[in-house]
Amino acid sequence: MTNTNATISLMFRQQQTAEDILEPSPWSKLRRRILGNHSFLIGAVILVVIVAVAILAPLLAPHDPYDQDLTKRLTNPFWHEKKIDPDHALGTDKVGRDYLSRLIYGSQISLLIGFSTMLISGVIGTVLGVTAGYFGGRVDMVVNFIINTRLAMPVFLVAMAAVVAFGASLTVVILVLGLFLWDRFAVVMRSITMQARDLDYVKAARAMGCSTPYIIVREIFPNVLSSLTVVATVEMANAILLEAALSFLGFGVQAPTPSWGLMLNEGREYMFFSPWLLALPGVCLFLLVLAINLFGDGLRDVTLERER
């Protein structure tokens, strides 16, 4: 920064301190920051809606998502003029299952995959990253090698191969993605832990003879928590997209499970005549991933400002 800019920002800061004194409480400040942060709000609202839909699926869905009715195959959604069925607002798929109900239940699959993958990869990545960052030296070198090896593996191809090897099922997809998507956690946690390790109070704790696990859990972990949450949202979105792509190619969740990716796969052969079979699950996927990304971006902005 130039001296001039520094001087100007110094002047700004003086002004802000004056405001700080007038500010009643840090909580109202945080609240205002959250309300002022549109992306966080929009993301959070969409996310809450989708989670609510997933939880309340049995109540919301007009039909059983597995109920086939071959007499009502491929009826159109309500905006079409011909071949609509008032019983199926968003139409039916190739075996006459209610599309709306399948879309509603699909949110369960996506959220389940996203969340469990995030938990598994989060644990692996955080343990690796914090270990490397805290101990440094040879430990760091080994972890670094593991991270690089993981990055060199073509995730999608290896995930497909693993699904072929162990059989396609929800559990396999979750495990495979969970075992693969920890790299970002590890990289971020490693660098943050390295910075945190050099903080004065962490040094002080070490000088006082606190045990390493104690220091990591009590002194370092609170530091990395906000970054951890942001990375978690990124990985969750990533996992949801990957599951959809795997299921779309037939290497993921198997029929008749209502997964959005699988629905895209099943709708593909009708793309010329019933493009909405492809459009709808894609829009759902897009909205969910968008919401998670906005939420994560907003979270980063909110926490960054607080730390400043």
Partner 1 sequence: MASGVILEVENLRVDIPVAAGMLHPVRGIGFSVSRGETLCIVGESGCGKSLTSLAIMGLLPKTAQRTADRMDFLGRDIRHLGEREMARQRGGSMSMIFQEPMTSLNPSYTIGNQLAEVHLRHVGQNRTAARDRAVFLLEKVGISAAASRLGQYPHQLSGGQRQRVMIAMALMCGPELIIADEPTTALDVTIQAQILHLLAELQREFQMGMILITHDLGIVARVADKVQVMYAGKTVEEGPCETVFDAPMHPYTQGLLRCIPIPGLTRRGERLGSVPGIVPNLVGTLSGCMFRNRCDHARDACANMRDEPTHMGDGHAYTCLRAPEEILGERQAAGTP
Partner 2 sequence: MPAYTLKRTFVAFLILIVVSGLTFSLSHLSADPALTIGGEQASEEDIQAIRKLYGFDRPIYVQYFDWLGRALAGDFGESYHYKQRVFDMISERIGRTMLLGTLAILFALAVSIPLGTLAAMRPNSIIDRIALFIAVLGQALPTFWFALMMIIVFGVWWRWLPISGHTQWANYVMPTIALGYYATPALMRLTRAGMIEVLASDYIRTARAKGLSPASVLFKHALRNAIIPVVALAAVWFGFMLGGSIVIETIFNLKGIGWLSYDALLRSDLPVVQAIVLVFASFYVVLTLLADLLNAYLDPRISVR
Q: Residues in the site for partner 2, rule: CB under 8 A? A: 1-2, 5, 39, 145, 148-149, 151-158, 160-162, 164-166, 237, 241, 244-245, 248-249, 251, 264, 268, 271-272, 275, 278-279, 281-282, 285-287, 289-290, 293-294, 297
Find which of partner 1, partner 2, none residue 156 binds, CB within 5 to 8 Å per kind: partner 2
Residue range at the interface with partner 1 (CB under 8 A); choices 2-10, 22-30, 220-228, 252-260: 2-10
Find which of partner 2, partner 1, none residue 256 binds, CB within 5 to 8 Å per kind: none
Is 8 a residue that touches partner 1 (CB under 8 A)?
yes
Distance between CA atoms of residues 278 and 265, nearest Å: 8
Find which of partner 1, partner 2, none residue 123 binds, CB within 5 to 8 Å per kind: none
Find which of partner 2, partner 1, none residue 214 binds, CB within 5 to 8 Å per kind: none
Distance between CA atoms of residues 207 and 116, nearest Å: 39
Q: Binders of partner 1 among 59-98, rule CB under 8 A?
A: none
Query: Which whole-number Å values give the CA distances from 46 to 51, 52, 295, in the listed order?
Result: 9, 10, 9
CB of 176 or CB of 215, closer to partner 2: 176
CB-count burial class (<10 Å; 0-12, 13-18, 19+) for 121? buried
Joined tokens for residue 77: 């959604």
CB-count burial class (<10 Å; 0-12, 13-18, 19+) for 127? middle
CB of 69 or CB of 297, closer to partner 2: 297
Please state the closest distance from residue 5 (CB atom) to partner 1, in A: 8
Is 13 a residue that touches partner 1 (CB under 8 A)?
no
Beta strands in 184-293 (DSSP E): none
Q: Binders of partner 1 among 14-43, rule CB under 8 A?
A: 14-15, 18-19
Please state the closest distance from residue 165 (CB atom) to partner 2, in A: 3
Find which of partner 2, partner 1, none residue 7 binds, CB within 5 to 8 Å per kind: partner 1
Nearest to 183 by CA among 122, 125, 120, 117: 125
Beta strands in 37-98 (DSSP E): none
Please tell me the chain's helix, strand, coil percentages from 3-state DSSP, rounded to the nearest 5.
Answer: 75, 0, 20
Query: Which whole-number Å values give the CA distances from 217 to 144, 159, 211, in the listed order?
Result: 22, 33, 10
Find which of partner 2, partner 1, none residue 164 binds, CB within 5 to 8 Å per kind: partner 2
Contact between 300 and 33 (Cβ < 8 Å): no
Which residue type, as a one-letter code, is found at position 220? I
Please state the closest distance from residue 22 (CB atom) to partner 1, in A: 12
Which residue type, as a one-letter code, is found at position 20? D
Find which of partner 2, partner 1, none residue 8 binds, CB within 5 to 8 Å per kind: partner 1
Is 2 a residue that touches partner 1 (CB under 8 A)?
yes
- Enumerate binding residues for partner 1 (CB under 8 A): 2-5, 7-8, 10-12, 14-15, 18-19
